[in-house]
Structure 1
Amino acid sequence: MPTATGTANNFTRTANEAQDQNQFDNRIDHRFSERHQIFGRYSFARDISNPVTPLPDSARNAPT
């Protein structure tokens, strides 16, 4: 059955992979004196999503 409008490319599905997202930021500032200071930053981001595919994933779900 179609899941979208139109007469072509009207079947989509959401993949079964789990959605996972991690993100964090660290920052440090330190002033040793009026003329000497330091700053540092570390950022990390990871995102796994459920892509919408045009047809069922036949490679994984193929009947035998």
Structure 2
Amino acid sequence: MKDQIAKRILAIENEIKGVQDANQMLLGAVMNNNLVMARKEETLKELKALLTEPEKPESDA
């Protein structure tokens, strides 16, 4: 009886560890996506600023 309880405890602990590992990987992916999104937002802001700047005449030099 106690052997079965110990096996069940170990199984549940392993399940918990698996979920924790999966959560850690997902968190890493979310953090990476946030960095990518921040870079894209910065690029977008820079491009929009360029679009609103008055055009400078090109030099013939």
Normalized against structure 1, the TM-score is what?
Answer: 0.27
More strand by share: 1
Look at both structures and tell me which one has the larger radius of gyration over its CA atoms.
Answer: 2
Instruction: Indicate the structure whose relative CO is greater, using CA pairs within 8 Å and at least 6 residues apart.
Output: 1
Q: Which has the higher helix share?
A: 2
Q: TM-score, normalised by structure 2?
A: 0.27
